[in-house]
């Protein structure tokens, strides 16, 4: 499990195709890694294969299976690209973000990026924030609400605004504070770039419970109707 609090960014050193997927070698600043360790790479939970780290950092390799390539944009990464990195949270760690599994639900696209100034906000304290507008797939619209949590490229963020389009697809807006902008790959993003989404898993559980109650209610209604007839 992860928290969406990005520890560092890393640089892709090498991207190599294999017969059954793709392998990335990524520069990392961590001084401790282990074989088989889970690590979120731009929001995708991957397994450390090989690594070489010391007091100054080093590198690690991760494998991208076909399923990962189908569901994420990691297959398009090339040497020189930056990625967000977060190691899994220890059992006694602090949950500073929200519950993030590293399971990408969908990809979206950056639609607009705007630097906010004093004239844009009533409280000048927030001048310097960035407003990011993203596309929102219709399949995720039920899980994204204003002031709710969402992980975008593995970053725990709060939804500032969400709008549904006529076709079901919509947009969501995130206000990004300077620290997040500077310490994650959001500063590298441009309009048209892809992003990973992972919606709040708690919303999925709530939906599942409600579906169960609706099914039970429908079953009771059918039995009652059958008894009356």
Q: Residues 2, 135, 151, 173: which is the catalytic one?
A: 2
Domain with 53, as residue range(s), is: 8-87
Rounded distance between C-alpha atoms, residue 188 and residue 193, angstroms: 10
Task: Tell me if residue 196 is catalytic.
Answer: no
Q: Residues 16, 76, 103, 218: which is the catalytic one?
A: 103
Residue 228 maps to a domain? no
Task: Tell me if residue 30 is catalytic.
Answer: no
Asked whether residue 134 falls in the same domain as residue 193, the answer is yes
Q: What is the predicted pLDDT for the residue at 220?
A: 45
Rounded distance between C-alpha atoms, residue 12 and residue 75, angstroms: 12
- Alpha-carbon Rg for the chain, nearest whole angstrom, is 21
Asked whether residue 111 falls in the same domain as residue 198, the answer is yes
Q: Residues 106, 127, 131, 158: which is the catalytic one?
A: 158
3-state secondary structure string across 12-80: EEEEEEECCEEEEEEEECCCCCCCCCEEEECCEEEEEEEEEEECCEEEEEEEEEHHHHHHCCHHHCCCC
**Residue 69 in contact with residue 61, Cβ under 8 Å?**
no
Domain C-terminal end among 29, 59, 87: 87
Say which CATH number the domain at 55 has.
2.40.30.20
Task: Tell me if residue 38 is catalytic.
Answer: yes
The total of structural domains in the chain comes to 2
Task: Tell me if residue 98 is catalytic.
Answer: no
Task: Tell me if residue 167 is catalytic.
Answer: no
Q: What is the predicted pLDDT for the residue at 192?
A: 97
Asked whether residue 112 falls in the same domain as residue 179, the answer is yes
Asked whether residue 82 falls in the same domain as residue 54, the answer is yes
Q: What is the model's pTM?
A: 0.85
Q: What is the predicted pLDDT for the residue at 90?
A: 82
Picking from 41, 158, 52, 37, the residue whose alpha carbon sits closest to that of residue 90 is 37
Q: What is the predicted pLDDT for the residue at 207?
A: 76
Mean pLDDT by 10 residues, the chain (229 residues): 95 93 96 94 97 90 95 96 94 86 96 78 59 94 91 96 84 93 96 96 78 52 52
Q: What is the predicted pLDDT for the residue at 125?
A: 45
Asked whether residue 111 falls in the same domain as residue 186, the answer is yes
Q: Residues 16, 17, 65, 112: which is the catalytic one?
A: 65
Q: Residues 40, 45, 82, 151: which is the catalytic one?
A: 45
């Amino acid at each position: 499990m992860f928290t969406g609090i990005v520890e560092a960014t890393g640089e892709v050193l090498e991207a190599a195709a294999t017969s059954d997927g793709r392998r990335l070698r990524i520069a990392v600043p961590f001084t401790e890694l282990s074989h088989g360790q889970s690590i979120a790479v731009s929001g995708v939970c991957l397994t450390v294969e090989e690594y070489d780290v010391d007091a100054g950092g080093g590198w690690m390799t991760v494998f991208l299976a076909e399923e990962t390539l189908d569901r994420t944009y990691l297959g398009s990464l090339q040497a020189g690209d930056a990625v967000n990195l977060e190691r899994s949270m220890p059992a006694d760690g602090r949950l500073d973000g929200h519950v993030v599994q590293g399971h990408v639900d969908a990809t979206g696209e950056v639609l607009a990026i705007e630097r906010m100034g004093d004239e844009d906000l009533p409280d000048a304290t927030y001048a310097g924030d960035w407003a990011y507008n993203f596309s929102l797939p219709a399949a995720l619209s039920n899980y994204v609400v204003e002031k709710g949590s969402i992980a975008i490229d593995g970053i725990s963020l709060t939804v500032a605004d969400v709008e549904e389009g006529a076709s079901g697809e919509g947009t969501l807006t995130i206000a990004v504070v300077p620290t997040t902008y500077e310490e994650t790959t959001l500063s590298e993003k441009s309009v048209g770039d892809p992003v990973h989404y992972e919606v709040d898993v708690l919303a999925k559980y709530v939906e599942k419970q409600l579906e169960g109650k609706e099914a039970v209610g429908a079953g009771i209604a059918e039995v009652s109707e059958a008894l009356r007839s």
